[in-house]
Amino acid sequence: MQPTTQTQNFLNFINGKWSQSDSSEVIESTNPANPAETVGYVQSSTKQDLEQAVESSKNAQKKWKKLSGAERGNLLFKAAEVLENNIEDIAETMTREMGKTLPEAKGETNRGVAILRYYAGEGMRSEGDVIPSTDSSALMFSKRVPLGVVGVITPWNFPVAIPLWKMAPALIYGNAVILKPASEAAVTAAKVIECFEKAGLPEGVVNFVTGKGSVIGQGLAEHKDVTAVTFTGSNATGNHIGQTVAARGGKYQLEMGGKNPLIVADDCDLDLAVDAAISGGLKSTGQKCTCSSRVIVQEGIYDQFKQKLLEKVNEITVGDGLKEQSWMGPCATKSQYENVQKYIEIGQKEGAKLIYGGSPVDNDTNGYYLEPTIFDQVETSMAIAQEEIFGPVLALMKVRTVEEAIELANDVEFGLSASIFSKNIDHILSFIDDIEAGLVRINSETAGVELQAPFGGMKASSSYSREQGEAAKEFFTTYKTVFLKG
């Protein structure tokens, strides 16, 4: 049944129109700080809805790709302006829908504006190369061309930035897109789509279909007319999508988990390292694929580091992300909340020593709040050292040397981000050389992605393709090699 209060009912956006799903069913999105509060309803769409979106995207893309890059860019500049004018509302919706604090939500929305502007500018940049031919009377050049229709499947942890860093490059290079956002953050995503509508993108160039991952996400992965699928989320879902798209000869890009190490060397600036462990590990309630979940500390500084870390973590205020005093909000969903608690239990059973937190935080609204949690004496064989927890949990590990630290850092299936705190250039250089990670950070936290640089991981963290910056061009375009003779 569709809800009666229209202000809370968010529709699909297909062929330039907001429309109800064929199913007449909706999915409720609630506030993790107060699960009794409904943030909105989105459509529980069907394969027929998706079919309409694909048809509309296919038609629209034929005209969209004929516009000049500058014309497409102007529309993205407009979308950026509309988003910028709606920052307050969109950021507040994000906080209410997935829990991150309002300053973080505003920061993310501002980042969305910058992403749109960056890719709008790409419309005026080179789209190929002249290549000398062996025939001196011929002109040979490569020309980048769009792929066609791109399916965008996104998670709930960055409901503005991730859809935009996938959609903006797809659009500027002449593709049409269909966004299927995570159900838990789909209201925020709907508000982003409203910005594209208000910017006046031609109908069908951006479509938005909400619904179950197993129906709409799976439908995008299977559809023969969806040339490429870009995904961020869990490894299980990502690998399944990759296999499905590959089986029909489509192109795919997967950004998945991380178990990111932060190495603290004896010679580091201790205060900076402590701040980085807290910010990188606990901001966004630890729900970033780039968050620092393993803190590997050299024995000479271990006790000092641990003591300072405990002092600083003790200052953290957990609470509703809309309240100014809250530094850390709730877990985004009930299943995240339960999953993190399950890992805290496993850690204790495995023999790690719980030295801080580990429990739910009492509150009047039944919000999914957990204490920031620190484990000591963590061994690399433990599940809490190997598996992505996606919650406010730090695992401390002691090593003798920096070489040992790097070896330990690499001893996981993931390879997204890694950082070292050290003033020793030899340590820094061997870290850059030997660490198995796509993002290598020195004297800086593991999280913190810059939109103009390639983003992605090694090993099980990614499908080896890269997003953002100019690297996005590789995924969202293909080449024509033109040989021209008079």
Ligand X SMILES: O=C(O)CCC(=O)C(=O)O
Ligand Y SMILES: NC(=O)C1=CN([C@@H]2O[C@H](COP(=O)(O)OP(=O)(O)OC[C@H]3O[C@@H](n4cnc5c(N)ncnc54)[C@H](OP(=O)(O)O)[C@@H]3O)[C@@H](O)[C@H]2O)C=CC1
- What φ, ψ does residue 165 adopt, rounded to 5°? -75, -10
β-sheet bridge partners, residue 420: 263, 442
- With H, G, I as helix, E, B as strand and everything else as coil, classify residue 254: strand
The catalytic residue among 222, 255, 388, 445 is 255
Q: State in angstroms the smallest separation of the CB of 238 from ligand X.
A: 11
Query: Which of the stretches 115-123, 148-156, 313-321, 472-480 binds ligand Y when contact is defined by CB under 6 A?
Result: 148-156
Name the residue nearer to ligand Y (CB basis): 80 or 182: 182
Q: Which does 290 bind (CB under 5 to 8 A by kind): ligand X, ligand Y, none?
A: ligand X
H or E segment and range at residue 313? helix 299-313
Q: Which does 95 bind (CB under 5 to 8 A by kind): ligand Y, ligand X, none?
A: none
Query: Hunting for tokens 């500390």 — which residue is that?
Result: 297
Does residue 232 interact with ligand Y by CB under 6 A?
Answer: yes
Cβ neighbours around 366 below 10 Å, total: 14
Q: Which does 343 bind (CB under 5 to 8 A by kind): ligand X, ligand Y, none?
A: none
Closest to 394 (Cα-Cα) out of 416, 372, 377: 372
Secondary structure percentages of the chain, helix, strand, coil, to 5: 40, 25, 35
Q: Which does 154 bind (CB under 5 to 8 A by kind): ligand Y, ligand X, none?
A: ligand Y
The residue type of 78 is: K
Q: State in angstroms the smallest separation of the CB of 51 from ligand Y.
A: 16
User: CA 374 → CA 161, 310, 386, distances in Å?
Assistant: 29, 8, 16
Does residue 78 interact with ligand X by CB under 6 A?
Answer: no
Q: Which of 41, 337, 375, 390 binds ligand Y (CB under 6 A)?
A: 390
Give the integer Cα–Cα distance in Å for 31 and 44. 19
Q: Which does 61 bind (CB under 5 to 8 A by kind): ligand X, ligand Y, none?
A: none
Print the binding letters for residues 166-205 with ligand Y: x by CB under 6 A, - otherwise: --------------x-xxx---------------------
Residues sharing a CB contact under 8 Å with residue 300, sequence separation 6 or more, in sequence order:
266
Confirm whether 255 is a catalytic residue: yes
Q: State in angstroms the smallest separation of the CB of 461 from ligand Y.
A: 8
Q: State in angstroms the smallest separation of the CB of 391 from ligand X.
A: 13
Residues sharing a CB contact under 8 Å with residue 168, sequence separation 6 or more, in sequence order:
76, 115, 116, 118, 119, 120
Q: Which does 447 bind (CB under 5 to 8 A by kind): ligand X, ligand Y, none?
A: ligand X
Give the integer Cα–Cα distance in Å for 278 and 103. 17
Q: State in angstroms the smallest separation of the CB of 245 from ligand Y.
A: 10
Closest to 467 (Cα-Cα) out of 453, 481, 447, 480: 453
Q: Which does 128 bind (CB under 5 to 8 A by kind): ligand X, ligand Y, none?
A: none
Q: Which of 93, 154, 227, 477 binds ligand Y (CB under 6 A)?
A: 154
**Region 329-368 residues binding ligand Y, contact defined as CB under 6 A:** 336, 339
Give the integer Cα–Cα distance in Å for 466 and 165. 11
Q: Contact at 8 Å (CB) between 87 and 94?
A: no
- What φ, ψ does residue 335 adopt, rounded to 5°? -70, -35
Give the integer Cα–Cα distance in Å for 471 and 279. 27
Q: Contact at 8 Å (CB) between 160 and 134?
A: no
Q: State in angstroms the smallest separation of the CB of 188 from ligand Y.
A: 13
Name the residue nearer to ligand X (CB basis): 32 or 204: 32
Print the binding letters for residues 261-300 with ligand Y: x by CB under 6 A, - otherwise: ----------------------------x-----------
Q: State in angstroms the smallest separation of the CB of 60 from ligand X.
A: 28
Name the residue nearer to ligand Y (CB basis): 32 or 257: 257
Max distance between CA atoms of the chain, in angstroms, equals 79
Q: How is residue 154 written in tokens?
A: 């996104």
Print the binding letters for residues 279-298 with ligand X: x by CB under 6 A, - otherwise: ---------xxx--------
**Region 211-240 residues binding ligand X, contact defined as CB under 6 A:** 232
Angle among Cα 224, 171, 461 to the nearest 5 degrees reads 70
Give the integer Cα–Cα distance in Å for 166 and 226. 15
Q: Which of 61, 218, 260, 292 binds ligand Y (CB under 6 A)?
A: 218
Q: State in angstroms the smallest separation of the CB of 289 from ligand X.
A: 4
Does residue 234 interact with ligand Y by CB under 6 A?
Answer: yes
Give the integer Cα–Cα distance in Å for 324 and 70. 41
Size of the site for ligand X (CB under 6 A): 9
Give the integer Cα–Cα distance in Å for 136 and 139. 8
Contact residues toward ligand X (CB under 6 A) are 157-158, 232, 288-290, 447-449
Contact residues toward ligand Y (CB under 6 A) are 153-157, 180, 182-184, 212-214, 217-218, 221, 232-234, 237, 240-241, 255-257, 289, 336, 339, 388, 390
Active site residues: 255
